[in-house]
Structure 1
Amino acid sequence: MKTLVFGAGNLLLSDEGFGVHFIQYLQNHYVFTEDVELYDGGTLGIMVTHLLEEADRVYLVDVVDTKGEPGDVFRFEKEEFLLGKLPIKMSPHQIGIQEVLTLSDLRGRTPDTVTLFGVIPASYEAGVELSPILATLLPKLADTVVQELRAAGHEITDIP
């Protein structure tokens, strides 16, 4: 089973880059076998359709615009994407990811499982570092995803 962990975002706008920082955190703290692909999707959107379609399971990590407090984390599954039931607006590259999933579904190539972890940002100010509140979320969210991957049978090694 191939799993894709896809981090989206713009590294130049502080918390907007959370998904990309998440991928970098995983790369710096864990070693994954070939059946797990970590991908820094930046703001590519529809340009990465093939990556999503080649995976059996996809984890998307991005910031979301919804009610709540900075640092709140929301989890949504594939059905919520495809049925248009997301009570949120994803970050500026929203059109890419949601349209990619819909397009893939129409073509019969949607991954079996798609999970979005959406985080409410504290700042969109210009800058390449996360706000302190989102920086503290990286280890916790990484642990959640790594534990799910391990439970699914993927071998992952912690980097000391």
Structure 2
Amino acid sequence: MIPDSLKFKKLVMGCGNMLFADDGFGYEVISLLENMELPEDVGVIDAGTGAPYYLMSIMDKDCPVEKIIVVDIIDFKLEPGTLKKLGIKNLTKIDKYNFDAHDMPLSDYLLKAKEAGIEVVIIGCQAKRVTMPDIEVGLTDEVKNSLENAVEMVLEELKE
């Protein structure tokens, strides 16, 4: 049975953990989107560190998802707060997606989604500081200042 949170054609998933400074970027973008009027066919999920579990459900043949927009931090050695739209071919360059804390690489599930005909887009933000395992709640100023532009990038992707 498909969870109600996945019964949309377009799905925006915020990834990361708000307890580790800039790793909370995905959560913050989702929080902003949840307070906006979005089309009926768009769902938003704060996936936290559980994105692989949501993606497993999306693989169900009855799931209507046609496009996934993942919002997360990246480390491409850019200026902190820099936003970058990434496609599926960039997944191998994102260390976090190849080995996660639960030994369930997110990249595998995103690649399978793509193979199943689901469009996959990643809106990444260059982190300045990720404090794991030390707890630090709150984004750095550079990442916080990119939130509105990140929301705009997501809204543009939803139009396509």
- Identify the TM-score tier after normalising by the shorter chain: 0.7 to 0.9
User: Does the 8 A contact of 1:122 with 1:134 survive in 2?
Assistant: yes
In structure 1, runs of 5+ residues without a counterpart are 153-160
Question: Given the alignment, which residue of 116, 128, 136 partners 2:137?
Answer: 128
User: Does the 8 A contact of 1:61 with 1:117 survive in 2?
Assistant: yes
* SS of alignment partner, residue 146 of structure 2: helix
Q: Deviations over 1:80-119 (max 9, x none)?
A: 15xx6x43323663853212123445xx5341x1101111
The alpha carbon displacement at 1:140 in A equals 0.9
User: Does the 8 A contact of 2:13 with 2:51 survive in 1?
Assistant: no
Q: Write the letter of the residue equivalent to 1:58.
A: I
Partner of 1:146: 155
Stretch moving more, 57-66 or 69-78 = 69-78
| 1:69 partnered with 2:79 | yes
Q: Deviations over 1:20-40 (max 9, x none)?
A: 111011112x12233100011
User: What CA distance in whole angstroms lies between the structure 1 residues aligned with 2:83 and 2:58?
Assistant: 22
The alpha carbon displacement at 1:42 in A equals 0.3
User: What CA distance in whole angstroms lies between the structure 2 residues aligned with 1:65 and 1:118?
Assistant: 9
More strand by share: 1
User: Does the 8 A contact of 1:101 with 1:110 survive in 2?
Assistant: no
The alpha carbon displacement at 1:74 in A equals 1.9
User: What CA distance in whole angstroms lies between the structure 2 residues aligned with 1:144 and 1:32?
Assistant: 14
Q: Write the letter of the residue equivalent to 2:67.
A: R
The alpha carbon displacement at 1:51 in A equals 4.9
Q: Write the letter of the residue equivalent to 2:44.
A: L
Partner of 1:56: 66
User: Does the 8 A contact of 1:62 with 1:90 survive in 2?
Assistant: no
* SS of alignment partner, residue 145 of structure 2: helix
In structure 2, runs of 5+ residues without a counterpart are 1-7
TM-score, scaled relative to structure 1: 0.77
Q: How many pairs are equivalent?
A: 143
* SS of alignment partner, residue 28 of structure 2: helix
TM-score, scaled relative to structure 2: 0.77
Q: Which runs of 4+ in 1 moved over 6 A?
A: none
Root-mean-square deviation over aligned CA pairs:
2.3
* SS of alignment partner, residue 31 of structure 1: coil
User: What CA distance in whole angstroms lies between the structure 2 residues aligned with 1:73 and 1:141?
Assistant: 7
Q: Deviations over 1:110-151 (max 9, x none)?
A: 41x1101111111123222111111111111101221332x3
The alpha carbon displacement at 1:66 in A equals 2.0
User: What CA distance in whole angstroms lies between the structure 2 residues aligned with 1:46 and 1:123?
Assistant: 24
Q: Deviations over 1:8-31 (max 9, x none)?
A: 001100101111111011112x12
